[in-house]
Structure 1
């Protein structure tokens, strides 16, 4: 899946100030990130506030993206959850026209054992009509997908990679050392993109690339080309902004940065609330 090397952006879902999906802003965001140079788009991830976007809205967002992007870059779609049977049904029933792969987060809240996580993903991979990318994000799920479990799942013919957001470099290295050559290793942490590529990773699924697509995609491409000095300078420019993206929750910060650039409103859906004036002011200063 070389088409998924480089920078993928976990797209936010733009809302109007009254909370409706903002279709015009969605199309602007698609163009903003594509012209910024990202390699592919990820729709309906947690950065897209997937828990509070309705099934009908998700269908419309994917359809609009497929029509508007028109093959300019690949599309990856998020389908996950903590009820295996429900996720399996969604995989079978969702219209995935134009999508090249599924990103599926490890089950949240249930805190399954490694055997449970293994069985969950094996069942999804058997059911999915498209290749599956694992997503390990213990900060959201309260459970960790270990290196050993990842490597065992990598043997499944329909599991093609992992978005690794544990922040545990030793765990990441254990995967990189032993993974199959064609198994995608994608950083799930923006600030670890460069070091993980240096250790053998193939790219990133990024939050910051929503608001800074050109800088972020240039950094990732430089790292993949072996220009670590150039990539380092681009990364250093993003370091002060990164904590502000998450200080009041994700995607609160990155939506504030997008609003300051006129791409979409800063609105989010409850239980999230928009960025405070104080946080917005600090983001504006750094911009």
Structure 2
């Protein structure tokens, strides 16, 4: 699964001012990422505001993303939910032409036990014709998938190939790396943690800031994967402030403000999200200017 080493970008979904999907903006964004030399793209993850899209919109976005990508980089589709039966049906119906894997977040709101999480992903694995990337993000789901559950899933299901880990728990990262099967991939789910996680043994990151700065960020990640932390560290530290800013008032409002400044797409988001404040937007614009 070398195709998932390096920088994957969790694409935003551009919207027009009236709230409709901006397909021209999405085309610009996809080409901007590929020209920025990222390794792969993730369509309709959390950053893509998938929770505010209906089924027909998701289907159209997935198909359009595959069409514009045209096989240039690997594609991952975000398919998650807290109703296991409904999610299994969605996965079985997914038209996966052009896609290389699915990314599926641990069930949110229900707060299942570890056995519940295991059984949920067992059903996902058995339903999916594509490799599955687990996604642990306790800050959004209100439950943590432990290292033991992650490694149990990795051992029991051949098509569960990786985890996007966004727990910010380095003890947990260490346990996964110690106990996982040799070919199972640990991927950072937090931009600021990517460098130290790669130093431990992670194979890359699924990034938010990569939407705005694909070349700079993916260059830094490639240096880390080569073991050149002396060169990578200053680049990492140079991006710390913008990374902080783009999450200060929620994701993806912050990174969309940066993309608007860069002329890639607009900054509209769907309720219940709102655009960043004028004050933060000004700060993001100045920071983007200083990095270009």
Q: CA deviation at 1:233?
A: 1.3
Which residue of the partner structure matches residue 212 of structure 1? 213
* TM-align CA RMSD: 0.7
- Deviation of 1:285 after TM superposition, in Å, equals 1.4
Instruction: Give unmatched runs, 5+ long, in structure 2.
Output: none
Aligned: 1:17 with 2:17? yes
Shift of residue 167 of structure 1? 0.3
DSSP 3-state at the match of 2:81: coil
Alignment partners' CA distance in 1, 2:287 and 2:78 = 31
Q: Give structure 1 stretches of 5+ with no counterpart.
A: none
Inter-partner Cα distance in structure 2 for 1:243 and 1:111: 28
Distance 1:115 1:66 in 2: 35
Structure 2 partner of 1:260: 261
Q: Distance in 1 between matches of 2:181 and 2:192?
A: 25
2-side partners of 1:86 and 1:182: how far apart? Answer: 30
User: Which position in structure 1 is the counterpart of 2:29?
Assistant: 29
Residue 38 of structure 2 aligns with which residue? Answer: 38
* In structure 2, C-alpha distance between the alignment counterparts of 1:120 and 1:62, rounded to whole Å: 24
* Structure 1 residue aligned with 2:127: 127
SS in 2 for 1:72: coil
Residue 106 of structure 1: aligned partner: 106
Shift of 1:57: 1.2
Instruction: Tell me the equivalent position of 1:190.
Output: 191
Give the C-alpha shift of residue 56 in structure 1. 1.1
- Cα deviation, 1:100-121, whole Å, max 9, x if unaligned, reads 0000000000000001000000
Name 2:228's counterpart in structure 1.
227
> Which residue is equivalent to 2:79?
79
- How far apart are the structure 2 equivalents of 1:187 and 1:41? 15
Deviation at 1:172, TM superposition (A): 0.6
Aligned with 2:102: secondary structure?
A: strand
Aligned to 2:274: 273
Write the mapping of 1:32-181 to structure 2, written as runs, cut at 5 A: 32-155=32-155, 156-181=157-182
Query: Whole-Å Cα distance in 2 between the matches of residues 73 and 123 of structure 1?
Result: 28
For the residue of structure 1 that corresponds to 2:241, the secondary structure is: coil
Measured in 1, the distance between the counterparts of 2:24 and 2:11 equals 15
Stretch moving more, 173-182 or 22-31: 173-182
Q: Secondary structure at the match of 1:121?
A: helix
2:112 counterpart SS class? coil
Aligned length: 287
In 1, Cα distance between the equivalents of 2:152 and 2:99?
26
The runs of at least 4 aligned residues of structure 1 exceeding 6 Å deviation read none
1:91 offset after TM fit, Å? 0.6
Instruction: Write the distance in 1 (CA, Å) between the matches of 2:259 and 2:95.
Output: 29
Normalising by the residue count of structure 1, what TM-score does the alignment of the two structures yield? 0.99
Find the aligned partners of 1:35 and 1:177 in 2 and give their Cα distance. 36
